[in-house]
A and B are shown apart, each in its own frame.
Chain A
Amino acid sequence: MNSLTESGCSIFFLKRVQQMTLIIFLAQEQIYRRYCGSLLGMAWSLVHPLCYILILTLVFTTIIPVHIDRFAIYLSAGLMPWSFLSNALVAGTRSLTDRRGVLESSPLCGLTFILADTTAEFLSFLPGYGLLIGIVILVRPELFFMMLILPVAFLPFVLFVYSISIVTAYLSARFNDIPHLLQIFMTIMFWMVPIVYHPQSIPQYLAPFLQMNPISVLISPSQVMLHGGMTPTFKNLTLSYLVAGGALVFAFVVHRVMNRRIIYYL
């Protein structure tokens, strides 16, 4: 009986490892397809956010000054995760709808493609974020050890992005309107998250809205570490894990409810 359970466990873990290998392989293929044959290759994933950061830094330090020390780092610490979220959601809207043929002929589940697409966005995001961490350490070497615990603060955000990508992918396959609504939603949300302004600079009556914004809650711990050089408060960190946990549960429910019949809506 014991050996039977052990072999059952090892088969379970072997299958999970195979699934993860498959997802990473599909994500790498996605990245290869995106950058193959281009002049800069994967360096394009750095160029786009760098240009954006440069322009916004110029605007918000000289034209409309926002008076934040080391504004470029503050902006990057918020903008890079935001771009990851935004790109992953856009990719999510196409994960299932663009793969009707594949899903009708392949034994792979739609979730595999959603996770692969999000992983591709995550892998594209990592070099830029790594560069930012490198610059922070270069400017303030005393933060080196703090950067080692940055993944703990950033993990909830990553979990949140994966969860919301799953939800977006299923809803986009079910309803044609979702990609359009998502565009509007993301534009509004960008200005509701303290990326180009400091949370303390907004009027008091708007502060509760900002505090309730789940994306602010998730971005702020890493933002505080990278820009402020401080560890996030226990309350802030707990809140971010709760938001990520809630999103995960929601994604799981959406997957369970919609996965079975989504093929008929593609």
Chain B
Amino acid sequence: MRLSGATIKVPDVRRAHTIKHYLLSATARVPQSGTSILSDVTLEARPGDRIGVIGRNGAGKSTLIKMVAGIYPLTSGLREVNGHITTMLDRGIGLESEASLRRNVKIGLAYQNMLHAYSVELEKEILEFAELTDRANDPFKVLSSGMKARFAFAISLFQAPQILLLDEAFATGDAAFIHKAVTAMRRQVSEAPISFLISHDNNLILDICNRALLLQDGHLIADGTPDAIIDRYNHSCRG
């Protein structure tokens, strides 16, 4: 996986979202404005890299991950990716409130573009991991929010990606499940050839990752060992 001078500039939506604004800017020859949310990021990830992404809120961590995933296209620069990417960023995207958990396993896999991986055995494994086997035929909407989070997490977990993009905030639920989820996440990260983990938990980064990136205001300002990067991040937070 390689990014070279990767930049994302988003259009000023308030100006461009109606035909009126579009026509006015076209006739007045106003240059298309935009805001840079990620600037000139260059990095290379090789098999064996477990990369922690650190930075304050709004630094561009999620944007970087979504750019690697191909969700956010580049305005300029280069993105080269070889291998299947799995994202564990948001809980329960596309899950249907009226449909049963069984049906939602299929829906969840479909939204991860993994429908072809569906099997009855996989469905069983997912429900078992989420500790919801006995509620397999219940509609999703009757679950508590903790159960919903467990279920959504379990669906995303049962994939074998070459590049894993993971947001730590993804693992939620009760204390016992968080422990189980974090253990599963560690296993996933160690099994995937390349992993990116967004986290505000320095210990988790130190424990899991062998490399870290520090982002600030959409710029990649440091790339190195987790302890060096965390030191620098702590300094910048205090300063």
Of A102, A175, A261, A264, the contact of B19 (CB 8 Å cutoff): A175
**Min CB–CB distance A65 → chain B (angstroms):** 42
Select the stretch in A28-36, A87-95, A233-241 that faces chain B.
Answer: A28-36
Residues from chain A with a CB closer than 8 A to the CB of B89 are 105
Which range holds the interface residue count of chain A? Answer: 20 to 34
User: Do A25 and B106 touch (CB < 8 A)?
Assistant: yes
Residues from chain B with a CB closer than 8 A to the CB of A260 are 73
CA distance A261 to B13 in the complex (A): 12
Residues from chain A with a CB closer than 8 A to the CB of B116 are 18, 21
Residues from chain B with a CB closer than 8 A to the CB of A18 are 115-116
State whether the Cβ of A208 lies closer than 8 Å to any Cβ in chain B: no
**Min CB–CB distance B153 → chain A (angstroms):** 14
CA distance A122 to B200 in the complex (A): 47
State whether the Cβ of B90 lies closer than 8 Å to any Cβ in chain A: yes
With both beta carbons as reference points, the residue of chain A lying nearest to B8 in the complex is identified as A264
Q: What's the A-B contact tally at a CB cutoff of 8 Å? A: 77
User: Do A25 and B110 touch (CB < 8 A)?
Assistant: yes
State whether the Cβ of A6 lies closer than 8 Å to any Cβ in chain B: no
User: Do B106 and A33 touch (CB < 8 A)?
Assistant: no
Residues from chain B with a CB closer than 8 A to the CB of A202 are none
State whether the Cβ of A104 lies closer than 8 Å to any Cβ in chain B: yes
State whether the Cβ of A101 lies closer than 8 Å to any Cβ in chain B: yes
> Interface readout for A99-113 with B: 1 if CB under 8 Å, 0 if not?
001111111100000
User: Do A22 and B90 touch (CB < 8 A)?
Assistant: no
CA distance A199 to B93 in the complex (A): 49
User: Do B94 and A265 touch (CB < 8 A)?
Assistant: no
User: Do A103 and B71 touch (CB < 8 A)?
Assistant: yes
User: Do A177 and B18 touch (CB < 8 A)?
Assistant: yes
Residues from chain B with a CB closer than 8 A to the CB of A105 are 71, 87, 89-90, 93
| Residues of B that sit less than 8 Å from A by CB | 10-11, 13, 16-20, 22, 66, 69-73, 85, 87, 89-90, 93-94, 96, 98-99, 106-107, 110-113, 115-116
